Amino acid sequence: MIPPQRPIAIVAIIFPGMDQIDLTGPFAVLARLPNSSIRLVWKDREPIRDHLGLGLLPDATLAETGPVDLLLVPGGPGQEQLMEDEEVLAFLRDMGESATCVYSVCTGSMICGAAGMLKGKSATTHWTALRLLKYFGATPSTDRVVIDGKYVSAAGLTSGIDGALRVAALLRGEEVAQSIQLAIQYAPDPPYACGEPEIAPPEILANVLTQTSELTARREATAQRIGAKLGIAVS
Amino acid sequence: MIPPQRPIAIVAIIFPGMDQIDLTGPFAVLARLPNSSIRLVWKDREPIRDHLGLGLLPDATLAETGPVDLLLVPGGPGQEQLMEDEEVLAFLRDMGESATCVYSVCTGSMICGAAGMLKGKSATTHWTALRLLKYFGATPSTDRVVIDGKYVSAAGLTSGIDGALRVAALLRGEEVAQSIQLAIQYAPDPPYACGEPEIAPPEILANVLTQTSELTARREATAQRIGAKLGIAVS
């Protein structure tokens, strides 16, 4: 926990082709932390579009961003480009080093992995990408939220809300996290029991695997290449 | 259901002081509907800020927006201003009339109510505002998602995801909705059992009621005034 009187500076990186809910789910929780500020940052201040077209406005540039307490790294298809973007990777390493907590959502873990931040850590990511974490020296976990030291990761997209509530509890205590959960009326009631590959009906799983196969294959090639560059041996 | 070969035009109104998750939660679901388009609209194309500071970019103006299949109306504190904004209310009535489905999230219901769209309907909204629906001639329901004819409403904030999956099933069928639920890995695992006032620990409920009391009182006064203007008798 961070003492209540000490402000918490939160920074989230946003980028073209991200998946907005990886950011906006956690934002709904973390922006409600008492005595905190949250800023979205990118290379410049031009609006970015997520991969489904939602336009988000950066609050500051990477260069303008000083040390932070909590670094939030969302994912989405655009993560691939970031994995080989030295400016971004250096920024994340830099911010991550002095942060109290680094929180990655979905394939945000892949970006952190490419930055070398996951070596020897347990982590999770979207279920279609989970086995790729090994290329970055991380141990993949099927838990929805994984906490390994100061590194917190959440699985795919909507899991960012679950993870953010855990992060809120780590930073400001359980009473604050519970009050936020009630304020955002988070008593989820999914219409189907199919939100994980293990429980989804086979034809639904087959559907989604077909829809994502091209992206998954490309992601694997990129992850493999970057892992080799990082000098990580994959068994 | 809308035939798969018929495109679905989705429009979401965004506005200053909204709560972004009322929009972005449903966006993560609805933007994945096959053969569909989704646009965020506001009076002009300048970015707006949600009440916690997130910057969102409109795709088009209200004036540029033609008939839609699905109209999405998010809420948040800025809803109060919209409730007396004749330009916005006329836009919503107009779009709503020809739409196949009108979907309001959180206090988005209050805006639809002020537009006279909820008279005689069952609906829900954020738990702190639920009893205010009566001022608009609606029957408040404690269900997380309420479907009354073509009018769908979801409770507070994060319930927008649950409601959007229901809307997805209405428009494109259950198999599509299930595939989307798996793609966004929606198998929620909230850390606490406190996302509804009925189940929250008393001290947590007291916390949130205190934090929101001023807003709730102001909302009630506005709702009462507008209800009277609409000529609705409240028992």
Give, as one character, the DSSP assignment of residue B226. H
Predicted complex: ipTM over 0.90: yes
Whether residue B233 is predicted with pLDDT greater than 90 in this model: the reply is no
Question: Tell me, what amino acid is at A127?
Answer: W
Please return the burial class of B109, using the count of CB atoms within 10 Å of its CB with bins 0-12, 13-18 and 19+: buried
Q: What is the pLDDT of residue A234?
A: 81
Name the closest residue on chain A to residue B181, using Cα atoms: A195
The Cα–Cα gap between A123 and A140 comes to: 5
Is residue B104 classed as helix, strand or coil in its secondary structure?
strand
Q: Which residues of B touch A28 (CB under 8 A)?
A: 19-21, 52, 157-158
Q: What is the pLDDT of residue A172?
A: 98
For chain B, positions 60-99, list CB contacts with chain A under 8 A. none
What distance in Å separates residue A156's CA from the closest CA in chain B?
5
Q: Residue B145's beta-bridge partner residues?
A: B154
The Cα–Cα gap between B75 and B110 comes to: 8
Contact A41, A82 (CB under 8 A): no
Q: Is B162 on the interface with A (CB under 8 A)?
A: yes
Per-residue pLDDT of chain A (235 residues; tens, 9 = 90+): 999 999 999 999 999 999 999 999 999 999 999 999 999 999 999 999 999 999 999 999 999 998 999 999 999 999 999 999 999 999 999 999 999 999 999 999 999 999 999 999 999 999 999 999 999 999 999 999 999 999 999 999 999 999 999 999 999 999 999 999 999 999 999 999 999 999 999 999 999 999 999 999 999 999 999 999 999 888 6
Q: Is A235 on the interface with B (CB under 8 A)?
A: no
Q: What is the pLDDT of residue A112?
A: 98
Kindly list the distances between the CA atom of residue B53 and the CA atoms of A27, A44, B115, B125, in Å, as whole numbers in the listed order: 10, 18, 27, 22
Closest of A7, A13, A115, A111 to residue A60, by C-alpha: A13
The Cα–Cα gap between A148 and A42 comes to: 27
Whether residue B234 is predicted with pLDDT greater than 90 in this model: the reply is no
Using the structure block, give the residue that is written with the tokens 């997520």. A50
Check whether domain A8-230 has CATH 3.40.50.2000, yes or no: no
H/E element, B61: strand B60-61
Nearest CB neighbour to B194, from listed A27, A162, A181: A181
Name the band, by pLDDT with cuts 50, 70 and 90, for residue B201: very high
Whether residue B235 is predicted with pLDDT greater than 80 in this model: the reply is no
For chain B, domain boundaries = 8-230
Q: Is A152 on the interface with B (CB under 8 A)?
A: no
Q: Please state the three-class secondary structure of chain A as a single string.
A: CCCCCCCEEEEEECCCCCCHHHHHHHHHHHCCCCCEEEEEEECCCCCEECCCCCEEECCEECCCCCCCCEEEECCCCCHHHHCCCHHHHHHHHHHHHHCCEEEEECCHHHHHHHCCCCCCCEECCCCCCHHHHHHHCCEECCCCEEEECCEEEECCCCHHHHHHHHHHHHHHCHHHHHHHHHHCCCCCCCCCCCCCCCCCCHHHHHHHHHHHHHHHHHHHHHHHHHHHHCCCCCC
Name the closest residue on chain A to residue B166, using Cα atoms: A191
Q: Which residues of B touch A144 (CB under 8 A)?
A: 187, 189
Q: What is the pLDDT of residue B182?
A: 98
Pairwise CB contact (< 8 Å): A196 & B212 = no
Whether residue B222 is predicted with pLDDT greater than 90 in this model: the reply is yes
Residue A13 has which token pair?
A: 């990186």
Pairwise CB contact (< 8 Å): B185 & A32 = no
DSSP assignment string, B135-193: GGT-EE--SSEEEETTEEEE-STTHHHHHHHHHHHHHH-HHHHHHHHHHTT-----SSS
The Cα–Cα gap between A217 and A129 comes to: 10
Contact B82, B15 (CB under 8 A): yes
Sign of CA dihedral A117, A120, A123, A127: positive
Sign of CA dihedral A220, B188, B155, B107: negative
The Cα–Cα gap between B75 and B129 comes to: 11
Radius of gyration of chain B, Cα coordinates, nearest whole angstrom: 17
Contact A27, A57 (CB under 8 A): no
Does A194 qualify as catalytic in the annotation? no
Whether residue B105 is predicted with pLDDT greater than 90 in this model: the reply is yes
Name the band, by pLDDT with cuts 50, 70 and 90, for residue B186: very high
Q: Which residues of B touch A31 (CB under 8 A)?
A: 52-54
Nearest CB neighbour to A178, from listed B127, B179, B192: B192
Q: What is the pLDDT of residue A24?
A: 98
Sign of CA dihedral B101, B102, B106, B110: negative
pLDDT tens readout for residues B45-94: 999 999 999 999 999 999 999 899 999 999 999 999 999 999 999 999 99
